[in-house]
Structure 1
Amino acid sequence: MRRGRRLAIDVGDARIGVASCDPDGVLATPVETVPGRDVPAAQRRLGALAEEYEPIEIVVGLPRSLNGGEGPAAAKVRAFTRELARLVAPVPVRLVDERMTTVTASQGLRASGVKSKKGRSVIDQAAAVIILQSALESERRTGQAPGEGVQVAP
């Protein structure tokens, strides 16, 4: 397991959830929800968070269908992530499977008594926590960096 803090991002149309972990990669915690409608402003905020947290990598949830295919949402995330990778270089950016994370986060918040209206502001952060926790577990299990690396276009 590589030592170092990581950031995780759950990209949505309206909001972008951000989570971080401790340098030992033990515990993922929510950071903030970035408004997502203004993509350039969101990218700038994520770049600022990368500067502040100094992660060894950023993992971004890639939405896939239940059968593993990719649709329009995945294409949108891939485009967003290519631009993010350019912005935060040389910090590596990786795409990881995020199937069911928002559903799992929503169920967890509901089970803990968070109302749906209030929950919207934190559900994306909770999904980012789940994405990061899953990526950390994958690396611990396999000894390999999780997901697929995003190449920075020249």
Structure 2
Amino acid sequence: MTNTHGVQYQALRPLYKDFVLSMPRGAAVVYPKDAAQIIVKGDIFPGARVVEAGVGSGALSIALLRAVGDDGRVHSFERRAEFAEVAQANIETMFGGPHPAWALSIGDLQDTLPEAEQPGSVDRVVLDMLAPGSAWMRWLRRLPPAGCWSATWQLLPRCPAWWRGCA
């Protein structure tokens, strides 16, 4: 592109880390170093089918979408419509439009997940929410026997005692 003085510029898509640290926010973001840990420890792979609960501003959603690629799927759930709106705008800005592997459901995970995903239909579950409530068994049933889940550290003290003992 050329400015009004005839100087030419080349517009580049920002690096993930630069975009996440400067993108508009509706909620706190998962920083790139933490997103990397979630992806590695949660074994998020190209082609994976991932459920994400708690979209916030979309930083982790972007990282998950980059990890699963166009052949994977990320189905994100967000309770607050205003956060979902910010996340959707951020994702479309980062990828230059809607991402083909991303679906967004607005509503409580406990209410929307059973209608959206069948048992055994996802490979990984990523929880970035403070209180999963009684949704445990609902998302747990969506995982196949070798499925993995990842949760923010604030969530772990709220896990049922039997679940903490499995780690």
TM-score if structure 1 supplies the norm length? Answer: 0.33
Using CA pairs under 8 Å that are at least 6 residues apart, name the structure with larger relative contact order, 1 or 2.
1
Structure with the bigger percentage of strand = 1
Query: 1 or 2, which has the higher helix percentage?
Result: 1
**TM-score, normalisation: structure 2:** 0.31
